[in-house]
Amino acid sequence: MTMLLIGVFLLSLLVITAIAIVRSEDLFSAVMLSGIFSLLMALNFFLLDAADVALTEAAVGAGVATVLLLAGLRLIPPKEAPGRPLRALSVTVIAATALLMIYASFGQPTLGDPLAPTQQHIAPWYIEKTPELIDIPNIVTAVLSSFRGYDTLGEVFVVLTAGIGVMFLLGGGRGKPFSRLDSQAEQGLSGHLIPKVMARLLIPFILLFALFIQFHGEYSPGGGFQAGAIFVAGIILYSLVRGEGLALSVIPPRALLLMSAGGALLFGSVGVAGMLMGGNFLEYSVLAENPVIGQHIGIIVIELGVGLTVTGVLLSIFHAFAARD
């Protein structure tokens, strides 16, 4: 009951934040609010027993998205043009839809109902079979990378596509090419002592944490995607401290491209290997004598692929935005 009430409180906050985002005319504050929105959302997910999702939402919604929006706002005016009249028709349609959905909710199973169809079909099978077939503690990781590994392959390609798109749109044209970035002009925060020292101290830990998330994903919440996002957060922090150019020299753009494409290829080649060794695409069981070991190998390699691609793409995107002026 207490949990439920906390949930209600958090959700109400969520709605208020959402309204504040929509109403705010200053885009900077809107970006900050949407970071808060994501954190609240992550908290909610945590309450709802979805640790992996909470971690991801925090890393992506509050972290990556905020940084991206800020990088974008560097290039565009941060003020919204003053208000325009509401359109009565759209308001009516939207309100009606919302009421309809609320009306429909009375036919739905309530929160946490153990008899809901979702808890009866398929999901129990995952929970029951994971120890036997895959033998890793984190069921979410098992489903993500093995039972529904094909979706995850698709997810990696979505990320890669976004990377391709940003590089295609911002990588050419009027912006400066990567190689000619002037490290003199962009000193970042290096003039400020305290952030510099703090960051220096933090960065190694962040990177270490990322590696932990990457390789411990089978046992605890986490995996390639979250690891990539956190790794990127570390690099971005570094670049804030040391200026763009130096951060870039740590990982050259061509290497980023190789990472992005290589990660996706790595994932795919695990699948093809399964095919060559007599199984179906993405069938890890055939990778080793013992099917369970095969699953382990498959999961570790594809998670690595996911991590590589996510890191490569996110860094490319960040640099593409940063290199534009």
Partner 1 sequence: MNLADHLPALQVIVPLMTAPLVILLRNGFLAWLGALLASLASFGLAILLTVAVLGAGVPEYAMGGWQPPFGISLNVDGLSALMLLLVTGASTLGLAGGRLSLRRDIDNRRAPMFYGAWLIALAGLCGIAVAGDAFNVFVFMEISSLATYILIAAGRDRRALSAVFKYLIIGTIGATFYLIGVGFIYMMTGTLNFADMALRLGDVIETRPIIIAAGFITIGLALKAAVFPLHIWLPRAYTYAPNAVTVFIAACSTKVAIYVLLRFNYGVFHGNLLAHSDLFTVFIIPLALSGILLASAIAIYQGNIKKMLAFSSVAQIGYIALAAGLATHAGLMAAQLHMFNHALAKGTLFLCVLAFVLTTGSASFSNLAGIGRRMPWTMAAFVIAGLSLVGVPGTAGFVSKWYLIVAVMGMPGWGVPLVMAIILSSLLAVVYLWRFVELAYYGQPPDGDVSRMEVPLPLRTLIWSAALANIYFGLVPQLPLALAESGTTTLLGGLLP
Partner 2 sequence: MKLLGLFNYWVFAVLLMIGLYALISKQNLVKKIMALAIFQSAVFLFFITMSRVDEGTAPIIQAGVANQIFSNPLPQVLILTAIVVGISTTALGLAIVVRLHEEYGTVEDDEILAMDRES
Chain residues 71-100 in contact with partner 1, contact rule CB under 8 A: 100
Of the candidates 2, 90, 278, 289, which one interacts with partner 1 according to CB under 8 A?
278
Which listed residue (122, 197, 272, 275) binds partner 2 by CB under 8 A?
122
Cα dihedral 139, 143, 149, 155 sign: negative
How many Cα atoms within 13 Å fall on the side-chain side of residue 69?
17
Judged by CB, which is closer to partner 1: 215, or 281? 281
> Which residues within the stretch 51-110 sit at the binding site for partner 2 (CB under 8 A)?
51-53, 56-57, 60-61, 64-65, 68-69, 72-73, 75-77, 80-81, 84, 86-87, 90-91, 94-95, 97-98, 101-102, 105-106, 108, 110
Cα separation of the two ends of the chain: 53
How many other CB atoms are found less than 10 A from the CB of residue 198? 13
**Which among partner 2, partner 1, none contacts residue 257 (Cβ within 5 to 8 A by kind)?**
partner 1
CA distance linking residue 175 with residue 157, whole number of Å: 26
Rule CB under 8 A: choose which of 12, 29, 92, 280 binds partner 1.
280
d(CA 117, CA 156): 30
Residues constituting the chain? 325
Closest CA to 283 of 294, 23, 293: 294
Residue identified by tokens 């490319």 is 316
Q: What are phi and psi of 26, to 5 degrees?
A: -85, 120
Determine which residue in the list 39, 43, 45, 238 makes contact with partner 2, applying CB under 8 A. Answer: 45
Residues binding partner 1 (CB under 8 A): 100-101, 103-104, 106-109, 116-123, 125-126, 129, 146-151, 153-155, 157-158, 160-162, 164-165, 167-169, 171-172, 257-258, 260-262, 264-265, 268, 271-272, 274-275, 278-286
